[in-house]
Amino acid sequence: MPGKSRNSQVTAIVLKPIHYGLVLYISRQPTTLPPDAMTKTDQVLQIARRQGVVRPRDLEERDLPPRYLSRLVDRGELEREGRGLYRHPDSPVTEHHSLALVAARYSGVVVCLLSALQFHELTTQMPHQVWIAREKGDWTPEASPTDLEVVHMSGPSFTEGAETHDVEGVPVQVFSPAKTVADCFKFRSKVGLSVAIEALRDYVRSSAGPIEDLYHFAEICRVETVMRPYIEATV
């Protein structure tokens, strides 16, 4: 009978007729087993390969024990990326890996300012922290897998302009290019006016979005008076 290997592959045994009887032919081609035929360990590893970053709740949603994650780390088959975050060694790591880690660790945060500029390729800055926005009054994230710079926003300034992007299999919320440019002018004391102006110029030159979006988010962020002269001088 076919035998199952630890890597969820089977060896097919086939009988082929010849002139004077049958010959045993063994096929070594891998066959992917269905989930109900896989061990729990193999299922966890498959999830980790597919998602990139896996969390205990990802296993709980599939009725798999989260303790398998730490066991696989001890066996060297998974890597611990931070508190409650695990990764398969063969999963691809992109330049936005830190954004995926933060989004997987904390729900409800939005990537903003310098990190959003870098994501949209609207700056030459290389931030050492991940810049995230939280609504005013919300808790400040702790035990982060990477250094954070937290900015608090309120009302439409926080709820408008967020886009969801897939980064290494993790849904990451990032403010849109136009919203990010407006935020840079609003928080120019944090990022610097020169960074805001550079972002505006790159937005226009790269056609990252309509000019009308700049005015729209400038109004939402209450920096229309500040931004208008720079927009008119750039367009």
pTM above 0.85, yes or no: no
Average pLDDT, the chain: 82
pLDDT at site 229:
96
pLDDT over 90 (residue 140): no
pLDDT at site 14:
46
Judged by DSSP in three states, 113 sits in helix
CA 119 to the chain's CA centroid: 11
**C-alpha dist (Å) from residue 151 to 105, 110, 133:** 17, 10, 5
CA–CA separation, 214 and 209 (whole Å): 8
- Which of 72-86, 100-114, 157-171 is least confident? 72-86
How many helices (H) and strands (E) are present in the chain, helices listed first?
11, 11
Judged by DSSP in three states, 155 sits in coil
- Which of 39-53, 101-115, 152-166, 184-198 is least confident? 39-53
One-letter amino acid for residue 65 of the chain: P
The CA-CA-CA angle for residues 106, 111, 114, to 5°, reads 140
| Residue 196 burial (C-beta neighbours within 10 Å; 0-12, 13-18, 19+) | buried
pLDDT over 90 (residue 218): yes
Whether domain 97-234 has CATH 1.20.120: the reply is no
Higher-scoring residue by pLDDT: 203, 16: 203
pLDDT at site 210:
96
Strands of the sheet with 162-167, listed across from one edge: 148-153, 130-135, 110-111, 170-175, 162-167
pLDDT at site 209:
94
pLDDT at site 34:
54
pLDDT over 70 (residue 20): no
Long-range contacts of 77-85 (CB under 8 A, 24+ apart): 77/45, 78/44, 78/45, 78/48, 78/54, 81/53, 81/145, 82/143, 82/144, 82/145, 82/146, 83/143, 83/145, 84/55, 84/56, 85/53, 85/54, 85/55, 85/145
pLDDT at site 35:
53
- Any idea where the domains of the chain sit in the sequence? 1-34, 39-87, 97-234
CA–CA separation, 231 and 201 (whole Å): 8
Higher-scoring residue by pLDDT: 2, 190: 190
CA–CA separation, 71 and 25 (whole Å): 38
- Which of 1-5, 48-52, 78-82, 123-127 is least confident? 1-5
pLDDT at site 36:
54
Q: pLDDT of 32-85, one tens digit each?
A: 445 555 788 888 887 777 777 777 877 888 888 888 788 888 888 787 877 777
pLDDT at site 197:
96
